[in-house]
Amino acid sequence: MSNQRKRPNGEREEDDEEDDAEGIGQWERAYVDDRSWEALQEDESGLLRPIDTSAIYHAQYRRRLRMLSAAAAGTRIQKGLIRYLYIVIDFSRAAAETDFRPSRMAIMAKHVEAFIREFFDQNPLSQIGLVSIKNGIAHTLTDLGGSPESHIQALMGKLEAAGDSSLQNALELVHEHLNQIPSYGHREVLILYSALSTSDPGDIMETIQKCKKSRLRCSVIGLSAEMFICKHLCQETGGLYSVAVDEVHLKDLLLEHAPPPPAIAEFAISNLIKMGFPQRAAEGSMAICSCHKEVKIGAGYTCPRCKARVCELPTECTICGLTLVSSPHLARSYHHLFPIAPFDEVPTLSSSNDPRRKLGKSCFGCQQSLLGAGNKPGPCVTCRKCKHYFCLDCDIYIHESLHNCPGCESTHRPKSVSLLEE
Amino acid sequence: MATVASKLYSDDVSLLVLLLDTNPLFWSNTSTTFSQFLSHVLAFLNAVLGLNQLNQVVVIATGYCSCDYIYDSSLTLSGNSESGRTGMPALFASLLEKLEDFIVKDEELIKEQEHDERIASSLLSGSLSMALCYIQRVFRSGHLHPQPRILCLQGSPDGPEQYVAVMNSIFSAQRLMVPIDSCYIGTQNSAFLQQASYITSGVHHAPKQLDGLFQFLTTIFATDLHTRSFVQLPKPVGVDFRASCFCHKKTIDMGYVCSVCLSIFCEHHKKCSTCGSVFGQSKLDGASTVSEKKRKAPDS
């Protein structure tokens, strides 16, 4: 495969090196800069030690959890549960760079797809819209909607990069769209920016002030380097600015935006939203569905207000505009409102009088043995409330996916005022 | 030996996690006794283990005050020649012992605590969470693992205080693609179990005659996940996903939802009774009517 990219003079030498490497093959280029052999270690007798990443992984996870719960510590922060998020993707010529393999554009598209699915999983009542910047103009790829498939199809449809990038045009477009949404919704913008410059038709500072006044929370994820204007934008509007160093980091940064962010006090106007809880249509009943405009038999839902048929939930009834949800959709967000406290690490004591030995030799959740090599107590964590022991993997699973402590749930507690009786 | 094992791993090897309801408040009120019920269940477990050499069964008991692991077929050594109790297969001697210990401990815990006679629900959320942790461990053990599924044998009614925890477990099971089957043997309808089976693509059935429980268990719940596409199983009918309002507890078709805490009301209110937010005002405007402490945190 010949590579005829033109590079400025100063980089001519690098070009030659890459041309030499061409002879080996595309698949080997992945290892040109990657010195994975340096991660190997040897033990005392010179044999290779297997790379144990689980401890590092767990330490990273605990650090992240500590950061997140440092602010929360006992108090409950109001979160923005009904979110209207616009994802702005920069398709300027900088997106065709190949420092992320195969190109920044392809990696962005892949991770945005995963992000969209995760977003709707964690925020079923929210909506996403897509905007792209190409040739200095911002285009709306999709309007605000709640169905992941339509967004992903629109995104994967056109993956081409060209021209300059314009931050102001994107912000103006998003501002126009987000002004139309109801006041109880949280307005957010997530910008994936790969360019190092922005060509704007006017004063971008004015646009930033306009966004700030409209309660837009803008966050930026940069793919090349840190830019002052992005940092300023995020600081003014209360968003997060981060720059990805590699593909894995980009994925982590993107997924950080999936759970609902803390709501800013001045922005949070609470409101009672009228919603419908449709019943499932009887098997064998025929109706013309309002979303596809064709006759459907059987599975579907009937809007309680206008009796129109819709195919899936959650959605807005196309005839009368009522928001239609089912109770599991609301229940998906309850774990944001009732988070579980992080578990405490148990210090590894090597004395034989360790009282822990008598208490628990196996993890309460999965029954895996908590003893490490040679019957010495291995690393484990404990829940503050129920005092049961859990292994590190259960700790991660419980806090990231399950959101229930098995120990606390398995202990009968006196019935307090329960909020959510259904 | 690893090569032999991989050859034996066909697509119908399953791991069945059985959640057994041992709530004494329920079992004291039914026509079938617990030991009759247990004989059906043990015969069913034998049948599941007999379907494939590599099938595994794990039993978790759902008690009134606690939950615990009772039996794990992968830990039992073959060649265990203890003679079982009267007529029970020797295979399950350890299961019966541990179950008896568990029930005795559970009853002691019940005596220590005062309990509300009104709703005698068992700790379904606890045993579901433990089952999911175990299944997660099986997934971590490598790419050659049996296909897990959960079967809830429940008779106690739903405990509304467990709603959030049960829904969390259901969504986690949906993500892991683990079906939750449920066999409800009580008198009232269990909305939790119906929703669980519907959301995770499991099977729900409430047999009317407990005399034939073994028959229902083997024909409906013994099939592994791959074979289910060829077998006619009870279809989900009438799963009610409507919500109940928080003020009157009646099921409603249309209601009002607080945008802060997602509580459901049937009529328009000025103030949310759960989180205290005044509707139509931002938190800062409402600070004079609501106390300072409630400014940023929803009250519970």
Nearest to A404 among B67, B168, B281 (CB): B168
Distance (Å, whole) CA A199 – CA A13: 31
Q: What is the mean pLDDT of residues B154-175?
A: 90
pLDDT in tens, A177-228: 999 888 888 899 999 999 998 999 999 999 999 999 988 999 999 999 999 9
Whether residues B256 and A272 touch (CB distance < 8 A) is answered with yes
Q: Which stretch, A148-162, B79-93, B264-278, has highest mean pLDDT? A: A148-162
Helix (H) or strand (E) holding B40: helix B34-51
Give which of A325, A412, A413, A419 to mutate to test B binding, by max B Cβ within 10 Å. A412
Q: How far is A305 from chain B (nearest CA, A)?
A: 8
Q: What is the mean pLDDT of residues A157-185?
A: 89
B129 found inside a domain:
yes
List Cβ neighbours of A258 (8 Å cut-off, separation of 6 or more).
A115, A118, A119, A121, A122, A123
Give the domain-ending residue among B173, B202, B230: B230
Q: What is the mean pLDDT of residues B141-155?
A: 89
Comparing C-alpha atoms, which of B43, B47, B32, B104 is closest to residue B70? B104
For residues B171 and B283, membership in a common domain is answered with: no
For residues B85 and B198, membership in a common domain is answered with: yes
Q: How far is B216 from chain A (nearest CA, A)?
A: 24
Q: How confident is the model at residue A59 (pLDDT cuts 50, 70, 90)?
A: confident
Whether residues B296 and A78 touch (CB distance < 8 A) is answered with yes
Q: What are phi and psi of A314, to 5 degrees?
A: -85, 150
Distances in Å between the alpha carbon of B225 and those of A349, B143, B232? 45, 17, 13
For residues B217 and B249, membership in a common domain is answered with: no
Nearest CA in chain A to B285: A266
For residues B221 and B90, membership in a common domain is answered with: yes
Domain count, chain B: 2
Nearest to A328 among B65, B241, B295 (CB): B241
Give which of B71, B108, B122, B130 to mutate to test A binding, by max A Cβ within 10 Å. B130
B178 found inside a domain:
yes
Q: What number is the ipTM of this complex? A: 0.84
Q: Is residue B295 predicted with pLDDT exceeding 60? A: no
For residues B250 and B127, membership in a common domain is answered with: no
Mean pLDDT for chain A?
80
For residues B147 and B287, membership in a common domain is answered with: no
For residues B181 and B76, membership in a common domain is answered with: yes
More confident residue, B283 or B248: B248
B256 vs A contacts (CB less than 8 Å)? 272-275
Nearest CA in chain A to B67: A410
% chain A with pLDDT above 90: 24
Nearest to A270 among B191, B195, B272 (CB): B272
A317 vs B contacts (CB less than 8 Å)? none
Whether residues A331 and B163 touch (CB distance < 8 A) is answered with yes
Q: How many CB atoms lie within 10 A of CB B192?
A: 27
A257-260 long-range Cβ contacts below 8 angstroms, 24+ apart: A257/A115, A257/A119, A257/A190, A257/A219, A258/A115, A258/A118, A258/A119, A258/A121, A258/A122, A258/A123, A259/A122, A259/A336, A260/A79, A260/A80, A260/A81, A260/A83, A260/A122, A260/A123, A260/A186, A260/A333, A260/A336
B1 found inside a domain:
no
Virtual torsion, Cα A378, A381, A387, A388, nearest 10 deg: -60
Q: What is the mean pLDDT of residues A352-361?
A: 55
Residue type, B261: C
Q: How far is A39 from chain B (nearest CA, A)?
A: 24
Residue type, A277: F
B115 vs A contacts (CB less than 8 Å)? 412
Give the domain-ending residue among B190, B207, B230: B230
- Tokens at B210, concatenated: 């407990």
pLDDT in tens, A279-312: 887 777 788 888 778 888 877 888 888 888 888 8
Whether residues A76 and B64 touch (CB distance < 8 A) is answered with no
pLDDT in tens, A16-36: 444 444 556 666 666 666 666
**Domain encompassing residue B264:** 243-295
Whether residues A272 and B244 touch (CB distance < 8 A) is answered with no
Q: Is residue B59 predicted with pLDDT exceeding 90? A: yes
Q: Residue B1: its pLDDT value, please?
A: 43
Nearest to A409 among B165, B239, B278 (CB): B165
For residues B135 and B266, membership in a common domain is answered with: no
Give the domain-ending residue among B230, B265, B284: B230
pLDDT in tens, B75-133: 865 444 444 444 445 668 888 999 999 999 988 888 887 655 556 788 999 999 999 99
Q: What is the mean pLDDT of residues A126-152?
A: 90
B238 found inside a domain:
no
B3 found inside a domain:
no
Q: Residue B286: its pLDDT value, please?
A: 42
Distance from chain centroid for Cα A183: 24
For residues B218 and B258, membership in a common domain is answered with: no
> What's the CATH number where B168 sits?
3.40.50.410
Nearest to B257 among A267, A275, A367 (CB): A275
Q: Residue B39: its pLDDT value, please?
A: 92
For residues B169 and B247, membership in a common domain is answered with: no
Nearest to B296 among A265, A276, A334 (CB): A265
Whether residues B297 and A365 touch (CB distance < 8 A) is answered with no
Helix (H, G, I), strand (E, B) or coil at A361: coil
Q: How far is A298 from chain B (nearest CA, A)?
A: 12
Q: How far is A155 from chain B (nearest CA, A)?
A: 24
Whether residues B127 and A274 touch (CB distance < 8 A) is answered with no
For residues B182 and B40, membership in a common domain is answered with: yes
B200 found inside a domain:
yes
B235 found inside a domain:
no
B300 found inside a domain:
no
Q: Is residue B157 predicted with pLDDT exceeding 80? A: yes
Whether residues B262 and A404 touch (CB distance < 8 A) is answered with no
Q: Residue A418: its pLDDT value, please?
A: 39
B105 vs A contacts (CB less than 8 Å)? none
Nearest CA in chain B to A263: B296
For residues B217 and B248, membership in a common domain is answered with: no
